[in-house]
Amino acid sequence: MWGYRDTKDVDMPTVQVRKFSDIGPVIKAVREDRAVRQEDLADQLAFSRDYLIDLEKGKGSLYITRLFRTLNELGISVTLTYQSNDDEASDGAA
């Protein structure tokens, strides 16, 4: 379900991430777009649903906060690119 895929021919949504809390809404939107329940995703990834809820709310840990402070200080940008269900339907992927 979650693997590498060549995306050069697919127009994929992109989100610029400046802080960890920018990631949570993307995780939630993609999960909902794929009609995946929180419980199912958490089980698949072997962590609790509560942890996933915190991720989707953008609640970071001390280590994540420090990571983004370091990235920002060094001028390193993070961009998330993901495939929506619309992209799967348009290119014939299952």
Query: Rounded to whole angstroms, how far apart are CA atoms 63 and 3?
Result: 26
Report pLDDT digits (tens) over 53-92: 999 998 888 888 899 899 999 999 889 888 877 655 544 4
Residue 93 has pLDDT above 50, yes or no: no
Q: Alpha-carbon distance 81 to 16, whole Å?
A: 9
Class of domain 14-91: mainly alpha
Q: DSSP character for 86?
A: H
Model confidence pLDDT, tens digit, residues 21-51: 888 998 999 999 999 999 999 999 999 999 9
- For 30, residues 6+ apart whose C-beta sits below 8 A from its C-beta are 82, 84
Residue type, 89: A
- Check residue 85 and give its pLDDT: 75
Mention every residue, 6+ apart, whose C-beta is less than 8 A from residue 36. Answer: none
- Show the tokens assigned to 49: 């649903």
